[in-house]
Amino acid sequence: MKKTHSLIAACAGLVIALGAGLSMANFRSAEATSARATFARPTAVAEAPKPPGVDLTLFSALADPAQLKKLSGDVNACHEALSAASVMFKEVPAMKQGQCGYAEALEISSSLAQWEPNPGAPKDLPMTCGLAAKLHLWERHVVIPAAEKYLGSPVTEIKAFGTFQCRTVANTDKLSEHAYAKAIDVAGFVLADGRKISVLGDYYAKGPEGDFLREIRQRACDLFDVTLGPDYNEAHANHFHLDVGGQHACR
Ligand SMILES: [Zn+2]
C-alpha cells in the first residue's frame, strides 16, 4: 500500500516538475531566449529521495539493533521491508479474545521456504510484522545457509506448531507472547531432497541433522528476544519457541 502511495507521489512530482519545465520554456521563448537550454533539467527531478528502509536481504541487518527495532516499531516500514525482500504476505483482521489478541498481524504466503503448519496444528499462522521480518532474516541468513552447510540441501518448508494462542506461560499466570501473535513454535524442516528434520527427533542427534538444529537455535538468539528449545525444558522438547515480546532469554 505504502509503495503504491510513494509511486503515485513520485509520478505526481514528475508531472508537476515537467509542467513547471514547460511553463518555463514558454516564458523564455516569449522573451526570445534559447528554448533549448530550458529542457535540459528533468532528470534530476525524476530521482525523488527515498527514505532508507531496512534491507532484509543484507546479512548486516541481522546484527543491527536500530534496524531490528525499526521493524517492530513501524509497521509500514516493516511491510516495505518484507515486500522489498520479495516476501509475499497478507494482512489479517484484528482479533480480540479476552486479554489476548492483535491489531496488526499478517500471514506469510510465500517466502524463500514455505511456512506451513505442522500436521494437526491450526492452519493459520497470524503473526506481527516484527516477528515475520525477524523470521525472514533467520530463514534467509541462518536456516538456509546452515542446511546447505550441514545437510547439502536447501530448506523448502518450515513447519510450525502455531503462532497465536490465548494462553499463559506454563506454570505462571502471565500471558505468553503467543497471546499477542508475537511468538512462533517451530517444529521442523523439510529439505528439497525430501528429508524431514524435526526438533523432537533430531535435536540431540550426533551428526549433521543435530548440528544443523543446534546451530540455528543458537543463532536465533541473535535475533529473537526469547529463544527456547529442548535444552530449556521438557515442554520444549519438540520445538523452538521464538518471540519478539521484549523479554530476554536464550536457552
Ligand atoms: Zn512458544
User: Ligand 1 mean position to 240 CA, how many Å?
Assistant: 7
Confidence of residue 67 (pLDDT cuts 50, 70, 90): confident
Could you give phi then psi for residue 135, rounded to 5 degrees? -60, -40
C-alpha of residue 227 to centroid of ligand 1, in Å: 9
Taking Cα atoms as reference points, which of 149, 141, 158 lies closest to residue 211? 149
Neighbours of 105 (CB within 10 A): 26
How sure is the predictor about 113, in pLDDT bands with cuts at 50, 70 and 90?
very high
Cell of 162: 502455531
Is the pLDDT confidence value at 27 over 70? no
Residue 94: DSSP 8-state? -
Report the pLDDT value the prediction gives residue 217, as an integer from 0 to 100: 98
Looking at per-residue pLDDT, the higher value among 121 and 31 belongs to 121
State in Å: Cα 226 to ligand 1 middle: 10
pLDDT of residue 107: 97
Q: What are phi and psi of 91, to 5 degrees?
A: -75, 145
Quick one: pLDDT band at residue 170, thresholds 50, 70, 90?
A: confident
In tens, the pLDDT along 129-166 reads 999 999 999 999 999 999 999 999 999 999 999 999 99
Percent of the chain whose pLDDT exceeds 90? 68
Ligand 1 centroid from CA 44, angstroms: 51
Expressed in angstroms and rounded, the spacing between residue 159 Cα and the centre of ligand 1 is: 13
25-37: b or e for each residue (b if 16 or more CB lie within 10 Å)? beeeeeeeeeeee
Distance 161 CA to ligand 1 centre (A): 9
Three cell numbers, residue 239: 520445538
User: How far, in Å, is the centroid of ligand 1 from the Cα of 176?
Assistant: 8
Whether residue 163 contacts residue 126, with contact meaning beta carbons closer than 8 Å, is answered with: yes
Residue 180 has pLDDT above 60, yes or no: yes
Binned at pLDDT 50, 70 and 90, residue 62 comes out as: confident
Q: How far is the CA of 40 from the centre of ligand 1 (A)?
A: 60
Q: What's the CA-to-centroid distance between 85 and ligand 1, angstroms?
A: 26
* 60 CA distance to ligand 1 middle (Å): 27
Q: What is the pLDDT of residues 216-247, one digit of tens each?
A: 999 999 999 999 999 999 999 999 999 999 89
Cα angle vertex 216, ends 211, 221, to 5°?
135
Share of the chain above pLDDT 70, in %: 79
DSSP 149-196: HHHSS-EEEEEEEES----BPTTSSSBPGGGGT-EEEEEEEEETTS-E
186, pLDDT greater than 50: yes
